[in-house]
Amino acid sequence: MAKKAVATFAAKAGAKSMVKCIRMDKSPKTGAYVFTEQLMEAEKAKEFFNKK
């Protein structure tokens, strides 16, 4: 299935500039770490990682 998803993204125009960003944040309620994932344009990746 993963190869099919990759092939689907590659077929779309402008898809080469898309990246999946994963950030690890600490939950204020429990203190445990949670992972935030988002698929976005490569230019906006720095903004995603600078957010807290």
Q: Which of 25, 46, 47 is nearest to 34 (CA)?
A: 25
pLDDT digits (tens, 9 = 90+) for 1-52: 445 555 555 555 554 678 899 999 999 999 999 998 999 888 888 888 887 6
| Whole-number pLDDT of residue 29 | 92
| Whole-number pLDDT of residue 2 | 47
- State the amino acid at position 35 in one-letter form: F
- State the amino acid at position 24 in one-letter form: M
